[in-house]
Each structure stands twice: as structure tokens, then as C-alpha cells.
Amino acid sequence: MPPATDRKLIALDIDGTLVTYDEVLSDAAREAVAAVRAAGHHVVLASGRSLIAMTPVAADLKIEDEWIVASNGAVTARIDASAPMGYTLERVETFDPEPVLRMLKVELPHARYAVEDVGVGFRMTELFPEGELNGEHRVVDFEELWAGDVTRVVVRSPGETSAEFHEIAARLGFDDVTYAVGWSAWMDIAPQGVTKASALEVVRKELGVAAENTVAVGDGSNDIDMLRWAGRGVAMGHATEPVQAAADAVTGSIDDDGVVDVLRSLL
């Protein structure tokens, strides 16, 4: 066990980093996570997934007593096997989604829209394809999406490209929210200033880990702030050029289990 001053906080994205796009978590990744945890370091899962979509991954990795960052930083919890839900909420950031939803509806009238209900699931204008969102799915009228403040808005519009989503966001301004565009025509919208990095900084301070002892691994545009935040940010080999440019180093792709090489280098 390393001295407390040498312990690291290792922030790991899930999809495309730990888990393949076919939902496969390799034995090598399980073993590498277990090894760095056994060495006394903190492994914090940090994902755009909702909390209820992350806890099964934590269970698969046998992480039972660690912080977890969900919904791109809007939700921070501690995994607690003894708690009724398997976790305790520590921090939930919310915003009023009505203004941004109204603007987007004009630009993307045929898109599917959803808002997250933490620990429950999503309210949505129509069902998303199976497997894309976890928890309960409740179809509601568009206006019901802003019945209260939310942690996240999800926009899915197969008719548009990722590049077109970026153009729409730039045109609309989005001064009061933080957004991230996925590989396809998928956008996550969070409260202003809320990212994986902002949540992880709170966790870092709570754990008493030195800033230079932070490590982050990710592959998506929603990981850019996290990679820049970390003392050592590592992009996956299949990540786009902007993601790789934000990192200090690039490892192998998800097909090569690139995250395993990073974890083993910390032992």
C-alpha cells in the first residue's frame, strides 16, 4: 500500500474505454482495475451514462466502496453495497431545461428528446432504440420534459450528423448550459460548467489526492475536459484528433484493450 501522498485517482470512462461498443468488459481490464485498486489507488468511473447504467459495471469490476461520476459530471455518488440502491448520492447538479429544449425543437423538430430522472430512468418524447438509455422509460408530451429542473437533456436525431450537431449548438449559442456531442447525432446537455472534470475535482479534494497524482483515460468529446484536468490524461487510440490533442499521451484502441496498458503502467 503506497503512502497516502502517493495514492492516485484514476478516472476511467466506460464506453469505448473500459467497455466495447458491444458491451464487453475484458478479463484483462477487470484484472488491471483490481490490481491498481489492490495497490491502494482510487479507481473512479466517470461516464456520460446515468448512475443506474454505471453501477452494474462497478459491480462487474468488484468496486464496492468508491466514488462514481455519472451523467457527464452532473451526478456524483459513492458506491455503497449496503445502501438500498447500492449507492449514496453526494452531489446532483440540475438546471431548467425549458429554454434549450424550446430552441432545439425549432432546429430539430423531428428529433427524440429525453430528460433524466436520477435513479429512475428517463422521460422522453418517444422511445429510444433498445439499450441506449437505462432504467424506466416514460413517454410524455414535449412540454412535460421541463416539469422540473433536471441533470441532463439527451437529444437524438439520426437525420443529422455529429458535425451538424456541433454547428447547431454553435449557432444557438448555448451560453447557459454545457453540451457534448457523441460519435453520431447524439447530444448530452448538462448544467453550465458541469463536466466530468468539474465533478472529479470535487472528488479529488475529498480524497485528498494531489493534482499531479490524477490520471484519466477516455475516448470521446465529453472526455476532453477530463483529459486536460488530469495530471496525466490518456486518450484511447481510436479517439478523434481533438480528443487525442487534449491528452498527454495516446494508448491503444478499445480493440487493443488500450486502457489495460495504462493501468499496468501505474503498478
Residues 199 and 84 in one domain: yes
Residues 71 and 46 in one domain: yes
Residues 138 and 106 in one domain: yes
Residues 105 and 62 in one domain: no
DSSP string, the chain: ---GGG--EEEE--BTTTB-TT--B-HHHHHHHHHHHHTT-EEEEE-SS-HHHHHHHHHHTT--S-EEEEGGGTEEEEE-TTSTTSEEEEEE--B--HHHHHHHHHH-TT-EEEEEETTTEEEESSPPPTTSS-SEEEE--GGGGGSS-BS-EEEE-TTS-HHHHHHHHHHH--TTEEEEE-SSSEEEEEETT--HHHHHHHHHHHHT--GGGEEEEE-SGGGHHHHHHSSEEEE-TTS-HHHHHHSSEE---GGGTHHHHHHHHT-
pLDDT at 174: 80
For the chain, the domain total comes to 2
Domain range for 257:
4-92+194-265
Beta bridge partners of 177: 191
pLDDT at 77: 97
pTM beyond 0.85: yes
Write out pLDDT tens, residues 213-239: 999 999 999 999 999 999 999 999 999
**Higher per-residue confidence, 56 vs 159:** 56
Average pLDDT over residues 1-19: 88
CATH number of the domain that 63 lies in? 3.40.50.1000
Residues 105 and 182 in one domain: yes
CATH number of the domain that 132 lies in? 3.30.1240.10
pLDDT at 183: 67
Query: Using 50, 70 and 90 to split pLDDT, how confident is the model at 2?
Result: low
Residues 80 and 206 in one domain: yes
pLDDT at 228: 98
**Higher per-residue confidence, 159 vs 64:** 64
Query: Using 50, 70 and 90 to split pLDDT, how confident is the model at 40?
Result: very high
Listed residues 150, 170, 191: the one ending a domain? 191
Residues 86 and 204 in one domain: yes
Beta bridge partners of 139: 124
**Higher per-residue confidence, 82 vs 249:** 249
Average pLDDT over residues 204-208: 97
